[in-house]
Structure 1
Amino acid sequence: MAPRILLQLFLFGLVIMCLGLFSNAFNPADNYLINCGSPSATTIGRRTFAADVPLSWTLTSSKRIMANTTSNSVSSFSTPALYQTARIFTGASSYTFPIKQQGRHFVRLYFFPFIYQNFNLKIANFTVSTQDTVLLHGYPAQGGAATAVFREYSMNITHKQLILSFVPLPNSSLAFVNAIEVVSVPDNLISDTAQTLNPPGTYQGLSEQAFEMVYRINMGGPYVSPDNDTLWRTWIPDENFLLDKTLAAFKSFSGTINYEGGVTREIAPDVIYSTATELSPALTNTSNARFNVTWQFDVDSGSTYLLRLHFCDIVSDALFELYFDVYISAYMAKSDVDLSTISVNVLAAAYYMDFVVDMTDGSRKLNVSIGPSSLPNVLPAGILNGLEILKMTSNGTVTVVSPPNSKANVGVIIGSVVGALAAVILAACVACIMIRRRKTGKKQESKTWTPLSINGIMSQSLGSGLSDGNTVRMGLNANFGYRFSISVLQEATNNFDEGCVIGVGGFGKVYKGVLKDETIVAVKRGNPKSQQGLNEFHTEIDLLSRLRHRHLVSLIGFCDERNEMILVYEYMEKGTLKNHLYGSNLPALSWKQRLEICIGSARGLHYLHTGQAKAIIHRDVKSANILLDENLMAKVADFGLSKAGPELDQTHVSTAVKGSFGYLDPEYYRRQQLTEKSDVYSFGVVLLEVLCARPVIDPTLPREMVNLAEWAIKFQKRGELDQIVDPRITGTIRSDSLRKFGETVEKCLADCGVDRPAIGDVLWNLEYVLQLQEVDGGTEVNSINRISELPSQIHNMSILETETVDEHLPKKETVDEPGVNDHSNVSMSKVFSQLFQSEGR
Structure 2
Amino acid sequence: MKTKIHIFLSFLSLFLLSNPVHAATNEPIKAPTPLILTCGTSNGGKDADGRSWEPDGKYLVAGGDKSVMSTAGTQDPSLSSAVPYMTARIFQSETTYKFPLQNSTSRTLLRLHFYPSSYPNFNVSNSYFSVVAGDVTVLNNFSAFLAAEALSQAYFIKEYYLAPSKFASLNVTFKPSDNQSQSFAFVNGIEVISVPAIFNVDPVMVGTAGVGADLESASTVPIDTSSMETMFRLNVGGQYISSTNDSNGLMRTWYDDSVYIYGAASGITPQSEIPIGYKDLPSYIAPLDVYRSSRSMGVSADINKNSNITWIFEVDPNFIYLVRFHWCEFQMKKANQRVFDVFVNNKMASPGVDIYAWTNSIATPMKKDYAVLVSNKTGDTQLWVTLKPSDITKPQYLDTLLNGLEIFKLSDNAKSNLAGPNPNISDMMKKYQDAQLAPKSFESPNKSKTFSIVVTGAAGGVAAAFGVAAVIFLVASKKRKRVPGSDATTWLPISWTSNSSSTKSSTPGKSHGGGGTNISTDAACNCRYFNLTEIRNATKNFDESNVIGVGGFGKVYKGIIDGDTKVAIKRSNPSSEQGVNEFQTEIEMLSRLRHKHLVSLIGFCEDNGEMILVYDYMGKGTLREHLYKGNKITLSWKQRLEICIGAARGLHYLHTGAKYTIIHRDVKTTNILVDDKWVAKVSDFGLSKTGPNMNKGHVSTVVKGSFGYLDPEYFRRQQLTEKSDVYSFGVVLFEVLCARPALNSSLPKEQVSLADWAMRCARNKTLEEIIDPQLKGKISPECLKKFTNTAEKCLADHGTDRPTMGDVLWNLEFALQLQDSHESGHSTTNSINLDNVEEEIDHNSLLNMHRSTLSLGDEYEAKKSKDDDTAAEDIFSQFVNQNGR
TM-score by length of 1: 0.42
Structure with the largest fraction of strand: 1
Structure showing greater Rg: 1
TM-score by length of 2: 0.40
